[in-house]
Amino acid sequence: MTVAALSAEGLSRSFGRVQALADCTFALPEGRVIALVGPNGAGKSTLLSLAAGLIRPTAGAIAVHGTPIRGRMHPDVAYLAQNRPLYPDFTVREVIRAVAGMNERWSQSRVEEVLDMLAGVDRSAKVRTLSAGARTQVAIALALGRLPRVLMLDEPLSDLDPLARDETLRIVMTEVADRGTTVLMSSHLLSDLSEVCDHLLLVVAGQVRLAGDVEDVLAAHRVLVGPRDQESAVTGSVISASRTERQATLLVRDAEPAPPGWLADQPDLETLVVGYLRAARHVQATSQPV
Ligand SMILES: Nc1ncnc2c1ncn2[C@@H]1O[C@H](COP(=O)(O)OP(=O)(O)OP(=O)(O)O)[C@@H](O)[C@H]1O
C-alpha cells in the first residue's frame, strides 16, 4: 500500500468558538500538484498551518508520509505562509544565509538554481525594495532550499503580475518533475490552478466537500443546460444552478444520461469549483441546500 504524502483523520481545529476545521479526513497522493480551494474563511490556511506543525489540532490527526505532525514542522515539509515572512532590512543574500543557518537540511545550490530561473531577483537588493512578486519568488527559493518532499504554498500567486505568476508556476512544475515533490497550493486563481494541478481538495465551511484526481472529479460531473420547467427530469445530485426565465444551467454530480432536450458537457476545473463555491454561498445566505 502506498503511504499518502499528507493524510488527515477526523482533523478538527477551533479558535475559541470558531470551528475553523471540523472532522476532515483525506489522503493526498505523493508527487502531485494539489489545489486547495474553498471560499474565504473555509479553513485552508488553518489546514496548512496544522500540516506545517505551526498549530495543533483540537481533535483528530494529520500526518506527513505516515508520520504524525504534533505541533512541530516535519523535516520533509516546507511551508510558505500567506504573509511571506522575510527580513525586510536584509539583502536577499543575507536572508538566504540566515535561513540556511536555521535549517539542518539545506541545499545552497538548489536555492541558487531557483533564483537563476527568475528574471527579476537581484541578490544584493534589500528585501524591502523587492516587488511582491520577487519577494514571493525568494520565499519559494528558500522553501525549496530545505529539499522538501511536501511543499505547501498559501496563496503563492496573489499579488503577482502575469510574468511573475508564470515563472512561479514554472518553478513549481520543475520541482515536481525533477524531484517528485508533492505540492499543496491554496489559491483563488482557478485558471492558474487548472494549468498545473492534477488533484483537488475542496474545503467548504471547515469540511472536505470534494477530494480526488482532477480527471476523476471532472468525469463525475456534468453541466446540463435545458428547459427550466423540466428540471425534475434531471437525475443525479444538483450541486448548483443558475436560471434565466426559460433555461436552467445545472452543475450535477453523478448525472445519468441527460434527459431529451438537455445538453450535457463535462465541466472544466474552474466551472466545477465555481459551482461548488456558489452552492456554499447560497447555503450560507439561506441555510438551505441548493
Ligand atoms: N488565529 C485565529 N484566531 C481566531 N480565528 C481564526 C484564526 N485563524 C483562523 N481563524 C478563523 O478560522 C476560520 C478559517 O480561517 P482560515 O484563515 O483558515 O480560512 P481560509 O480558507 O484560509 O480563508 P482565506 O481564503 O480568506 O484566506 C475563519 O473563520 C477565521 O476567521
Ligand 1 atom with the smallest distance to the CA of 42 is 21
Q: Would you say the CB of residue 40 lies under 6 angstroms from ligand 1?
A: yes
Q: Which grid coordinates are listed for 246?
A: 426559460
1 has a pLDDT exceeding 70 = no
Query: 202 CB under 6 A from ligand 1?
Result: no
Q: Is residue 217 within 8 Å of residue 200, measured between CB atoms?
A: yes
0.90 exceeded by pTM: yes
pLDDT digits (tens, 9 = 90+) for 156-210: 888 888 888 888 898 889 989 999 999 999 998 888 888 899 999 999 999 999 9
Tell me what pLDDT residue 142 has.
Answer: 93
The CA 134 to ligand 1 mean position distance, Å, reads: 26
Task: Check if 15 has its Cβ closer than 6 Å to any atom of ligand 1.
Answer: yes
ipTM over 0.95: yes
* 59-64/6-15 β-pairing: antiparallel
Cβ–Cβ under 8 Å, residues 253 and 220 = yes
Distance (Å, whole) CA 180 – CA 196: 14
Q: What is the pLDDT of residue 228?
A: 93
